[in-house]
Protein backbone atom coordinates (compact mmCIF):
# COMPACT_ATOMS: atom_id res chain seq x y z
CA UNK A 1 0.00 0.00 0.00
CA UNK A 2 2.85 2.37 0.75
CA UNK A 3 4.24 1.86 -2.75
CA UNK A 4 0.88 2.72 -4.30
CA UNK A 5 0.58 5.88 -2.22
CA UNK A 6 4.11 6.95 -3.19
CA UNK A 7 3.27 6.25 -6.84
CA UNK A 8 0.08 8.29 -6.44
CA UNK A 9 2.04 11.17 -4.91
CA UNK A 10 4.49 11.17 -7.81
CA UNK A 11 2.06 10.59 -10.70
CA UNK A 12 -1.28 11.31 -9.04
CA UNK A 13 -2.91 13.68 -11.47
CA UNK A 14 -2.23 11.64 -14.61
CA UNK A 15 -3.28 8.43 -12.83
CA UNK A 16 -6.55 10.06 -11.73
CA UNK A 17 -7.22 11.33 -15.24
CA UNK A 18 -6.60 7.97 -16.93
CA UNK A 19 -8.38 5.95 -14.21
CA UNK A 20 -11.54 8.09 -14.32
CA UNK A 21 -11.43 8.14 -18.13
CA UNK A 22 -11.28 4.34 -18.27
CA UNK A 23 -13.95 4.00 -15.59
CA UNK A 24 -16.31 6.24 -17.55
CA UNK A 25 -15.46 4.33 -20.72
CA UNK A 26 -17.04 1.28 -19.13
CA UNK A 27 -14.12 -0.77 -17.88
CA UNK A 28 -14.85 -2.47 -14.55
CA UNK A 29 -12.29 -0.51 -12.51
CA UNK A 30 -13.83 1.48 -9.67
CA UNK A 31 -12.73 5.11 -9.43
CA UNK A 32 -14.14 5.69 -5.93
CA UNK A 33 -11.25 4.06 -3.98
CA UNK A 34 -8.72 6.02 -6.03
CA UNK A 35 -10.58 9.25 -5.40
CA UNK A 36 -10.68 8.48 -1.67
CA UNK A 37 -6.91 7.92 -1.65
CA UNK A 38 -6.39 11.12 -3.62
CA UNK A 39 -8.57 13.01 -1.16
CA UNK A 40 -6.56 11.64 1.74
CA UNK A 41 -3.35 12.73 0.04
CA UNK A 42 -4.87 16.15 -0.54
CA UNK A 43 -5.72 16.36 3.14
CA UNK A 44 -2.13 15.47 3.99
CA UNK A 45 -0.89 18.24 1.71
CA UNK A 46 0.65 16.07 -1.02
CA UNK A 47 -1.89 16.87 -3.76
CA UNK A 48 -4.21 19.79 -4.50
CA UNK A 49 -7.91 19.08 -4.07
CA UNK A 50 -8.81 21.63 -6.75
CA UNK A 51 -6.53 20.01 -9.31
CA UNK A 52 -7.88 16.57 -8.36
CA UNK A 53 -11.45 17.72 -9.01
CA UNK A 54 -10.46 19.43 -12.26
CA UNK A 55 -8.58 16.37 -13.56
CA UNK A 56 -11.40 14.01 -12.58
CA UNK A 57 -13.97 16.16 -14.37
CA UNK A 58 -11.63 16.48 -17.35
CA UNK A 59 -11.47 12.69 -17.54
CA UNK A 60 -15.18 12.06 -17.00
CA UNK A 61 -16.84 14.61 -19.27
CA UNK A 62 -15.45 13.44 -22.65
CA UNK A 63 -16.48 9.84 -22.01
CA UNK A 64 -19.91 10.92 -20.79
CA UNK A 65 -20.34 12.92 -23.98
CA UNK A 66 -19.14 9.92 -25.98
CA UNK A 67 -21.78 7.67 -24.37
CA UNK A 68 -24.46 10.34 -24.80
* pLDDT score of 2: 81
Give the model confidence (pLDDT) of 4-50 as tens digits. 888 888 999 999 999 999 999 989 999 999 999 999 999 999 999 99
What residues does each domain of the chain span?
Answer: 13-67
Q: What is the pTM of this model?
A: 0.86
Alpha-carbon span 60 to 38, nearest angstrom: 16
Amino acid sequence: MAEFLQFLINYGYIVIFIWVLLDQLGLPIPAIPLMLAAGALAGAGHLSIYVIIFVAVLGAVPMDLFWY
